[in-house]
Structure 1
Amino acid sequence: MATFPRRFLPPMTVLCAFEAAARHQSFTAAAAELNLTQSAVSRQIRLLEDLLGAELFIRERQTVRLTVAGESYAQEIRTVLRRVSTATLGFRANPRGGMLNIAILPTFGTRWLAPRLPGFLSGNPGVTINLTTRLAPFDFQADTVDAAIHFGMPEWQGAKLDFLMGETVVPACSPAMLKAHKVKKPADLLELPLLHLASRPDAWERWFHAMKVPTGRIPGMLVDQFAMAAQAATAGLGVALLPKFLVEHELAGGDLVVAMDRPVESTERYYLAWPPNREHYPPLQAFREWIRGAAKAA
């Protein structure tokens, strides 16, 4: 038995015609895109308006434009069509398993998650994983992502969270920079160029506060990702405040050194965020169990 009234489901051809007309703000352009006649698109739009009981477009001479309600409806339909397209593509790519779309934080994804993913895939051979970058929380209902890596407080509107791990940050720089400057106490770092991460603009202030070092405004180069901050520090451009577990390779190889061995635990944590309506999706269930275990073992 259907869980939704079928009389409220317009034909797919009608929805596609409406989405194209709404995007182009033109029945003629929509007809050209869909390889239909302008009158055929017009009839399909009218059929949809009859079903809805209200007009979607304001028709003025030879032009059309969406009503306020039509604009809102177009956004909803566009999201639904995108989900159907993604689901179909996923099924075609892996008809015997499931598709899992995960939004990642760039450096966490490349440095921590990607090297461990073969372990998950070997234990779940029917699952295909797609990775996409997201730097900030988003609306799961308006996206095609099944889960996302979240760093911050345990808050994400409309999502559930699984705790993964905390992090410890350390000031790191090139060996040449540390050799050229005498760094004996935390306050000495204020004399060096400091690198700032755009997503954590107050990170240095919090580190100095933990060291009980008073600061005013702390100038310095701004970068948008940890990988770039690590590269800039390696190149001798300054001292970066970096999660130790994300730069283990550089520290072990000597490209980076700890400028001051005063690690500070971040108040924020790493979480896996996921929408409640995907809770029983088998690939997500398997991934949640696996990533919690991988984080615990790290």
Structure 2
Amino acid sequence: MHALPPLTALRAFFVACHAGSYTAAAQELCITHGAVSRHIQVVEKWFGVNLFTKEGQRRVPTPYALTLARELGSAFDTLSDIALRYGNGGRNNVFNVSVPTTMSLKWLLPRLDDFYARFPAANLQISTANTEQLHIVGHYDLLIRRELSATQYSAIPFLGDTHCLMASPALLSRLTIKKPEDVLNCLRIETLTRPGHWNLWLAAAGLGKAPVSGFRRYDHFHVSLHAMLEGMGVGLGPVSTLSAEISRGNLVPLFPEITVAPCQYFALTPVGVQKTLLHQAFEDWLVEQGQSGDEKAYQS
């Protein structure tokens, strides 16, 4: 194992960087100004650079120190998470799950009360991930993803989905959409991270390519979904993922027989993660919820 600077000294350095001075760090750590100074000297000697400069009566972190502190922040977060999960002999029952944002907000969260009712001692820690973050494994016990990687994970499929055209009741009260051609007279909501979905739908509806005008484009689907719910336009959405919104009547599937972009959600466990009883229970619950969710999707 490589030699490391003393953890206490690193912590004092990290706090001093965030607090902006030795004095503020001493107050936060409940130690003396001199003790903070000695800790910083240890860290400076170990890294071989000056980490603070003098401005008036204060010592302030250098740009190098601030960059180092950002890196240490991630390391401290990881250590904190490990301590929480494995503290008390590993009986804290913390289970870290990473879920795409829309999947978390619109499918998982509305169902979690059922899981907690069955496992009241469970301590789920849900982290959302947008499109740019989906490749990050981090220190999660389980990841919910649409992509399957056989080399990095063990995978359990639990929810099939497909996209159809949707609109809010507010929009449908203003516009008449009786046949697919009517869609061309509406504002159409498009998501930049789901390119080509509109062309697929128009082709499936026998309408050819989409005209250039008439689109409102957003970077992520959860933003597009908000625009759809607000009645700003029609959009393509995943039926199973949005089954709760459909069941509540907040979204109405249009021409539900025309579907595009089928996908499959997987519960992915990174290689090396030991599955606990809670882990296995959560996987089983996801499969159960996935099997029951499709029947509700078109009830509106």
Distance 1:228 1:94, change over 3 A: farther
The alignment covers a number of residue pairs equal to 282
Q: Counterpart amino acid of 1:231? A: L
Distance 1:20 1:96 in 2: 30
Cα contact 2:198–2:210 (8 A) shared by 1 = no
Report the alpha carbon displacement of residue 23 of structure 1 after superposing the two structures with TM: 2.8
Return the letter of the residue paired with 1:54: G
Aligned CA distance change for structure 1 residues 126 and 145 (closer, same or farther; 3 Å): same
Partner in structure 2 of residue 165 of structure 1? 159
Q: Secondary structure at the match of 2:210?
A: coil
User: Which structure 2 residue ranges, 5 or more long, are not aligned?
Assistant: 294-300
Does the aligned pair in 1 maintain the 2:141–2:270 contact within 8 Å?
yes
Residue in 2 aligned with 1:35? Answer: 30
Root-mean-square deviation (Å): 3.9
Matches within 5 A, 1:1-298: 4=1, 8-50=3-45, 52=46, 54-55=48-49, 57=51, 59=53, 63-66=59-62, 68=64, 70=65, 73-88=68-83, 96-118=91-113, 120-121=115-116, 124=119, 126-136=121-131, 137=133, 139-141=136-138, 145-151=140-146, 153-154=147-148, 160=153, 162=155, 163-174=157-168, 177=172, 180-181=175-176, 183-184=178-179, 186-197=180-191, 199-200=193-194, 202-212=196-206, 213-222=208-217, 224-225=221-222, 227-233=225-231, 237-249=232-244, 251=246, 256-277=251-272, 279-282=273-276, 283-292=278-287, 294-296=289-291, 298=293
Query: CA distance change for structure 1 residues 147 and 66 in 2, over 3 Å: closer, same or farther?
Result: farther
Alpha-carbon distance in structure 2 between the residues aligned to 1:188 and 1:197 = 21
Contact kept, 8 Å, 1:55 with 1:67, in 2: the verdict is no
**Letter of the aligned partner of 2:163 in structure 1?**
V
Structure 1 214/180 Cα, relative in aligned 2: closer, same or farther at 3 Å?
A: same
Identity over aligned pairs, percent: 24
**Does the 8 Å CA contact 2:9/2:43 hold for their aligned counterparts?**
yes
Asked whether the equivalents of residues 22 and 33 of structure 2 are also in contact (C-alpha less than 8 Å), the reply is yes
Other structure's SS at 1:245 match: coil
Letter in 2 for 1:160: Y
Give the 3 Å change call, closer, same or farther, for CA 200–160 of structure 1 in structure 2.
same
1:19 Cα offset (Å): 0.7
Q: Which moved more, 1:208-217 or 1:88-97?
A: 88-97
Q: Determine the C-alpha separation between the residues in 2 that align with 1:159 and 1:30.
A: 41
Structure 1 segments of 4 or more deviating over 6 A?
A: 91-95
TM-score (norm 2): 0.72
Q: Sort the Cα spacing of 1:77 and 1:286 in 2 relative to 1 into closer, same or farther, 3 A.
A: farther
* Per-residue deviation, 1:100: 1.3
Which blocks of at least 5 consecutive residues in structure 1 are unaligned?
Answer: none
Structure 1 residues 27 and 268, CA gap change in structure 2 (3 angstroms): farther
CA distance in 1 between counterparts of 2:281 and 2:61 reads: 46
